[in-house]
Amino acid sequence: MESITANSSEQGNECVISSGDRLTIDTIADFIGRIRTGLTEASTVVVEFNPEVEMDITALQVFCSACKTATAEGKRFIHRGPVPQALLDLSTAAGAERFEHCTNKNNACFRQFGGEKKWQN
């Protein structure tokens, strides 16, 4: 089993987290811990994706949960750089093309990549 090897680093009031190579049900626990730490210590948590990251639906669920948590706490949970194809495929498979928006009133939605809302502000 491949593990996530990337580290979190803080830059000012921002926590940057790398996705590593895999965000799947068997590897996501460490990533969730880094998100929790980031949301505790910073006002903005930024995910930087490995372009070839492997993901399953667990990752999309974690992103939605983190987005809602950040919004409820007056914080931001965003990404930098291109969205990997794996996440675009998950978003499509989950039905995001219907452009249903979360009720968290966040300007960034992890399920919307081509509609009126963009994932990164």
The pLDDT tens digits for 52-86 are 999 999 998 899 899 889 988 989 888 888 888 88
Q: 16-59: per-residue pLDDT in tens?
A: 999 999 999 999 999 999 999 999 999 999 999 998 999 999 99
Q: Where are the alpha helices (DSSP H) in 17-56?
A: 28-41
Residue 37: which domain range?
Answer: 8-98
Query: Cα(58)–Cα(85) distance, rounded to whole angstroms?
Result: 16
pLDDT of residue 13: 87
For 44, phi then psi, to 5°, come to -135, 130
User: Is residue 109 domain-resident?
Assistant: no
User: Is residue 86 domain-resident?
Assistant: yes
Instruction: Give percent of the chain above pLDDT 70.
Output: 68
Count of structural domains within the chain? 1
User: Is residue 81 domain-resident?
Assistant: yes
